[in-house]
């Protein structure tokens, strides 16, 4: 098999296209995980608003739930950004060493 080509089900795919496909797959998977954690944060927000509306919890509990929600959004966003940067760096590194 020539250098730089991968074999997938009898189809020859250049390694750069395979690496781009892997990058796309990993970014989509990361976005799905990001969305799942975002849904949890939204549900926490709804629960906080519901508890606040019906006075089911003390004010310090409501504030704690709000802080937890903001912390969850911040950590989720930071982790997703770092994940995308790391995957892009791996992609570029893979392409760089393939060409050298």
Q: 37-73, pLDDT tens digit by residue? A: 999 999 999 999 999 999 999 999 999 999 999 999 9
Query: Residue 10: inside a domain, yes or no?
Result: yes
Closest CA to 26 of 77, 89, 76, 78: 89
Query: Residue 99: inside a domain, yes or no?
Result: no
pLDDT band at 7 (very low <50, low <70, confident <90, very high): low
Query: Residue 63: inside a domain, yes or no?
Result: yes
Query: Residue 98: inside a domain, yes or no?
Result: no
How many domains are there within the chain?
1
* Residues of the domain holding 17: 5-92
By the 8 A CB rule, do 58 and 37 touch?
no
Query: Residue 33: inside a domain, yes or no?
Result: yes
Query: Residue 36: inside a domain, yes or no?
Result: yes
Query: Residue 26: inside a domain, yes or no?
Result: yes
């Amino acid at each position: 098999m020539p250098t730089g080509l991968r074999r997938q089900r009898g189809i020859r795919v250049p390694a750069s296209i395979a690496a781009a496909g892997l990058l796309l797959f990993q970014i989509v998977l990361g976005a799905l995980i990001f969305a799942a954690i975002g849904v949890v944060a939204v549900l926490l927000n709804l629960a906080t608003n519901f508890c606040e509306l019906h006075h089911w919890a003390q004010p310090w509990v409501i504030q704690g739930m709000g802080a937890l929600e903001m912390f969850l959004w911040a950590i989720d966003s930071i982790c997703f950004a770092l994940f995308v940067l790391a995957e892009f760096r791996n992609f570029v590194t893979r392409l760089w060493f393939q060409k050298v």
